[in-house]
Amino acid sequence: MTTATTPGTSPGTPATTSRRATVELLFIGLGALVVALSQSLLIPVLSTLPADLDTSAGNVTWLLTSTLLVAAVSVPIMGRLGDMFGKRLMLLVALGALLVGSLLAAVTDHVGLLVLGRAIQGMAAAAIPLGISLLATVMPRERVASSTALVSAMLGVGGALGLPLAGFVAEHASFHALFWITSGASLVAIVGILLVVPEAPERSGGRVDLVGAGLLAATLVALLLPLSQSATWGWDDPRVAVLLAASAVLLVLLGWSQTRIHDPLIDLTALRSRPIVLTNLASILFGFALFASFIGTASYVEAPEASGYGFGASLLTGGLVLLPSGIAMLLFSGVAAMLIKRRGAGSTLALGAAVVAAGWLMRIVVTDHLWQVVVGTTIVGIGTGIGYAAIPSLINAFTPAGEIAAANGLNTLFRSLGSSLASAFGGAILAADSVILGSFAVPSLSAYRELFALCAGAAVLTALIVTMIPKAVPAD
């Protein structure tokens, strides 16, 4: 009688295999966590950076915009390369980019080099879908759901934990310390993955679709640049209309090219299947629904009491308000794995979306005390942990094994697109309705409530769309 083993690992007792799988999950999960941390670490200190770097606020915004644009382009391309040449290989490339970008940003005060470092860090966003795809192939079958759920939840956990960490560092050290933290954590993850995580056995090979990659990059930059810069440029700026129109034309060209290339970057046949279309649409809405977790919590409690809703909290307190939400995401990802096995991934995602909507409704109605903000945000975190855990299971269930990394990469892109849309609309809402306090203005309570209502509505739509996804069956 032989003992079942994890693909790519040596035979051993079930206990040995289980321990090895736990170590593999530990290092891949660490990589996902530090990537998510890197995307939110600068948000609390952004207002202090113009003075620290002796530059304009417009230049500082590129520390976020450069990461967003490079991440959007890198995620689907590196996912496809993972299917072709190895998911573990591309995961190491992604984490290597995070290490290089972090080290560069840690040792310079030159805003141009900082933007370059942040752009290099953007490539690391692919680590999360690559980690999910790798775990789906190397984990023991009974641990796939819980492992992928945990790593997927890191998208939210990293953001929720990054804000209090950045707030603490901002009050006690230079912002460079944030990049030393991500450098050290990414190095540990890289070494651990090199030593203990095997490569996925499925590799399709083939040639790289350079035409598709170029068109995809141009499309995403033309779409996301005006969305990310809308608050600075204004919606009436001609650049916004020109770039959005260009993105539409480029999208048509991209679709046309992918139907005529023998080995395309994007498998449109798989992408057009009803379950994948509905899952990706739900992911856009879910990403939209979660956007206000960050700008609608930290900045909300840090606003002066004279605003009528704020508590005059410090940067550290504003970040700590999100800490219970991050812990809830982590804990409920495991609960979600059990729900996925019993009720299916679609029902689990619908439940998560409904919980998120309930959290935002509480934030609209109850505003008197800080603990009420914490409870409402934590409810959103619970729904986030459940929903994020379910999405990869839906993608994996309807995707052939040789395309899992590409499919998860595109799904991550759709979630990011939802957050970018919410950022553009949410920023416009908060800017349009403000309260003047002395020499500066802050968003009004009604503006925040409108934003929370939009997020709740997006969550409800997510739950409704998910009910139309057929019961998941294993993909060929």
| pLDDT tens column, 139-180 | 888 888 888 888 888 877 887 787 788 878 877 788 889 999
**Assigned domain for 382 exists:** yes
pLDDT at 314: 84
> How far, in Å, CA of 267 to CA of 258, rounded?
8
Q: Which of 290-299, 342-351, 360-369, 396-405 has the lowest mean pLDDT?
A: 290-299
- Establish if 7 belongs to a structural domain: no
Domain end call among 264, 280, 305:
264
Asked if residue 170 and residue 73 are part of one domain, the reply reads yes
Residue 3, exposed/middle/buried by CB under 10 A (0-12, 13-18, 19+)?
exposed
- Assess whether 201 and 213 both reside in one domain: no
Question: Based on the domain organization, do 451 and 433 belong to the same domain?
Answer: yes
Q: Is residue 8 part of a domain?
A: no
162 and 276 part of one domain: yes
Examine the domain organization and report whether 213 and 201 are in the same domain.
Answer: no
pLDDT at 13: 52
Q: Based on the fold, state whether residues 224 and 281 are members of the same structural domain.
A: no
CA 158/CA 382 separation, integer angstroms: 14
Residues 194 and 61 in one domain: yes
Element spanning 441, H or E: strand 440-443
Query: Where a domain ends, among 231, 247, 264?
Result: 264
> Can you tell me the distance from the alpha carbon of 341 to that of 397, in angstroms, rounded to the nearest whole number?
12
What is the residue type of 396? N
What rounded mean pLDDT belongs to the chain?
A: 86
pLDDT at 14: 55
β-partners of residue 435 are: 442
- 474 pLDDT higher than 70: no
User: Are 322 and 178 in the same domain?
Assistant: yes
- Say yes or no to pLDDT of 287 above 70: yes
Exposure on the CB side of residue 154, measured as CA atoms within 13 A? 28
Predicted confidence band of residue 16 (pLDDT cuts 50, 70, 90): low
Residue 283 dihedral angles phi and psi, to the nearest 5°:
-65, -40
| β-strands 440-443, 434-437 pairing | antiparallel
- Calculate mean pLDDT across residues 57-84: 88
* 219 & 273 share domain: no
Per the CB < 8 A criterion, the answer to whether 62 and 50 are in contact is no
Asked whether residue 476 is assigned to any structural domain, the reply reads no
- Domain of residue 337 covers 15-208+265-466
Q: Does residue 56 carry a pLDDT above 90?
A: no
Same domain assignment for residues 431 and 347 = yes
Q: Is residue 473 part of a domain?
A: no
Q: Rounded mean pLDDT of 198-213?
A: 82
Helix pair angle (127-138, 404-432), 10° resolution: 150
* Total tally of structural domains belonging to the chain: 2
Percentage of residues in the chain with pLDDT exceeding 70? 96
User: Is 425 part of a structural domain of the chain?
Assistant: yes
What per-residue confidence (pLDDT) applies to 372? 93
Beta strands in 249-352 (DSSP E): none
Residues 178 and 291 in one domain: yes
Average pLDDT over residues 410-436: 84
How do residues 261-273 score in pLDDT, each as one tens digit? 877 888 777 778 8
Among 248, 264, 280, the domain boundary falls at 264
At 289, is the secondary structure helix, strand, or coil?
Answer: helix
Residue with tokens 């370059």: 116
Query: Per the structure block, which two tokens stand in for 37?
Result: 């941390």
- Residue 308, SS3 per DSSP: coil
Residues contacting residue 12 through CB under 8 Å, at least 6 positions apart: 3, 5, 20
| CB contact at 8 A, 162 and 155 | no
- Let me know if residue 3 belongs to a domain: no
Task: Decide: 178 and 172 in contact? Cβ < 8 Å.
Answer: no
With respect to residue 154, please indicate whether it lies within any of the assigned structural domains.
yes
Q: What pTM did the predictor assign?
A: 0.84
Instruction: Report the CATH number at residue 147.
Output: 1.20.1250.20
Residues 238 and 368 placed together within one structural domain of the fold: no
The residue written with tokens 């505003």 in the block is 367
Tokens, residue 111 = 């805003």
